[in-house]
Amino acid sequence: MTRKASPTVLAFQVPANRGPRRLGVPFTHRGDNRRLVAVEDVLFAEMNDPELTDAFAEAEIDRLAAIFGLSAEEVAELYRPAELKPAVAGEPHRRRGRSTRAR
């Protein structure tokens, strides 16, 4: 299978050791483990897990507040900004449902 030449030749430079592709999707075979990512990136991605979203537990926040002499207001400003949002009285709870119409 051949591809048309591109006006930007550089766009077609491909490493000699690159694996074959089928329908634009690279084959994944047992030996294809040359790509490596730093563990920092993986740990960072894991922190998007809802269970790990908070950087530190409440106890650690309280400990830091005691160390640096932060008042309760400052702790709320810096570490619990959600608590500062005024609740809108009487606002109906919005139902969470599908965003697209069923077909």
Residues making contact with another protein (CB under 8 A): 30, 33, 35-47, 52, 54-57, 60-61, 63-64, 67-68, 70, 73-74, 77-81
Nearer to another protein, 12 or 45 (CB): 45
The C-alpha angle with vertex 32 and arms to 31 and 37, in degrees rounded to 5, equals 130
Cα–Cα distances in Å, from 103 out to 25, 95, 97, 98, 100? 30, 20, 15, 12, 9
CB of 25 to another protein, least distance (A): 14
CB of 54 to another protein, least distance (A): 8
Nearer to another protein, 12 or 54 (CB): 54
CB of 18 to another protein, least distance (A): 16
Nearer to another protein, 21 or 45 (CB): 45
CB of 72 to another protein, least distance (A): 12
DSSP 62: H
Nearer to another protein, 57 or 87 (CB): 57
The CA distance from 84 to 29, in Å, is 51
Of 52, 51, 74, 53, the C-alpha closest to 62 is 74
The CA distance from 103 to 94, in Å, is 23
